[in-house]
Amino acid sequence: MAFSMKDITTVKEFELDLLSQNEKLRNIAFIQAHELRGPITSMQGLVSLMIQENYSKDFEEGYAKEFTLLSNKVDKIVKTIVAESDVKPEV
């Protein structure tokens, strides 16, 4: 009877890394599909309203604040996506 032993530590660590990366990708997909889409849609609606109102100065100034708030929200979400997708290189 012969027995063979093989260290599978590296294989298991690789599997755990893959599972972690897959979870990160699922989180990124969720963020893109749900959290990023809302502010983008709102900005598109504001642009549409501005066009319908023929770009009156008061109208534009009123929406400038909204654009700033929404763009800040998009910026924060993008930063979250970047942080979530930061995969450490293999050593």
pLDDT tens digits, one per residue of 31-78? 777 777 788 888 888 877 777 776 666 666 777 778 778 888 888 887
In terms of pTM, does the model score above 0.85? no
CB 34 within 8 A of CB 81: no
| pLDDT digits 0-9 by tens, 20-32 | 988 888 888 777 7
Radius of gyration for the alpha carbons in the chain, expressed in angstroms and rounded = 23
User: Which residues are CB-neighbours of 3 under 8 A, at least 6 positions away?
Assistant: none
∠ Cα 71 53 58 (to 5°): 70
Closest alpha carbon to 71 in 29, 37, 45, 43:
43
Dmax over CA atoms of the chain, in Å, equals 89
